[in-house]
Structure 1
């Protein structure tokens, strides 16, 4: 990689890291362009050069955090052999990722209804599509064999990910939730909802 390109990539990563740190320390209220620029040591011009706008930076951070979560889920899922063990893998990978990367998970959940997501939907969809396709490909033979209920993909996603995402959101917001206990109890309940 040429030096100029490498420096540009390093600047982008520094801005993304700073944005996550600012959000982690200041929440939504403290998540401002000036705070991120100050934290990163980069210029405002660099931020706009690499991301187009502060919303573009936020969308890129959301995309990076979501990619990390989905990569962990897909990696765990592809090691599973049965649909039941696949459900367990997804639940434990999701909750494990949230516990290990709480700042990134908090940003994902705080961004769920953010105004910048629709404006950058194409970029986010491009990041999600191959990962979601890998999950669907893993499930397809189990659906065809009659082991998993045959529902549209968004409904399967809600049954599989919805409960775990909501539990994570509550834990990230300070609710008294034991993630390790949930990782033991939830998989069988979620499997029951997906079993044909």
Structure 2
């Protein structure tokens, strides 16, 4: 990497870090070009050079943190030797990430992220394909082995992650009736029952 490329990466990181701080402090409406350049100390021209627009910056910020969440989940899966222990690992890693990176989790579970997902779902998924493929391979291998019910992969993914995302959203919204530790204890078994190929 040349010194110029390194400086470019440092500048992009400053802008992304500042954007998350602004989002955490002021919400979606407060995430403006002016607020980010003031918070980062980086020029307006540099923001446009690296991200093209405020929307480009938002998208890059969401992709950065989605990538980190997926990396945490894949790392957790690597230590699991059964489908059941894998589900436990996925649930715990997701909820731990939400607790440890609350500001980023708020961004990933925001209405703006939902709108972007609806508008650009395939493109976003394609951008994270390398990170998603270990999860897909894990799921396919456990379906093939007969541990997990022979359902379409998208349905298995929804059954596994849907309840976890719902709990995360509820906790992030400030509703005081969700305990993440309790959810981490209860959800894996409940989710396992929904995807296990074993007769009930």
List per-residue Cα deviations over 1:100-130 (Å, max 9, x = no partner). Answer: 01111111011332358736963x3343212
Greater shift in the superposed pair: 124-133 or 64-73: 124-133
The alignment's C-alpha RMSD in Å is 1.6
Alignment partner, residue 4 of structure 1: 4
Query: Which residue in 1 is equivalent to 2:77?
Result: 77
Q: How many residues align?
A: 195
Q: 1:116 to 1:166 in 2, by over 3 A?
A: closer
CA contact (8 A) 2:139 2:153 kept: no
Matched residues in 2 for 1:165 and 1:104: separation?
14
Name the residue aligned to 1:55: 55
- Using structure 2 for the length normalisation, give the TM-score: 0.92
Q: Secondary structure at the match of 2:42?
A: coil
Which stretch of structure 1 is more off in the superposition, 172-181 or 125-134? 125-134
Deviation at 1:133, TM superposition (A): 1.2
Instruction: Tell me how far 1:149 sits from its aligned partner.
Output: 1.1
1:191 corresponds to which residue?
A: 192
Contact map agreement 2:62 2:113 (CA 8 A) in 1:
no
In the alignment, the residues of structure 2 paired with residue 77 and residue 39 of structure 1 have an alpha-carbon distance, to the nearest angstrom, of: 37
Once residues 97 and 83 of structure 2 are traced to their aligned partners in structure 1, the CA distance between those partners, rounded to angstroms, is: 21
Indicate whether 1:106 and 2:106 are aligned. yes
Q: What residue ranges of structure 2 are gaps of 5+ in the alignment?
A: none
User: Partner of 2:119 in structure 1?
Assistant: 118
1:135 counterpart residue number: 135
Asked if the contact 1:59/1:120 (under 8 Å) is kept, the reply is no
Q: Residues of 2 paired with 1:51 and 1:169: CA distance?
A: 28
Q: Which of structures 1 and 2 has the larger relative contact order (alpha carbons within 8 angstroms, sep 6+)?
A: 1
Q: Which residue of 2 aligns with 1:88?
A: 88
Q: Select between 125-134 and 35-44 the one with higher mean Cα deviation.
A: 125-134
CA contact (8 A) 1:95 1:183 kept: yes
In structure 2, what is the equivalent of residue 22 of structure 1?
Answer: 22
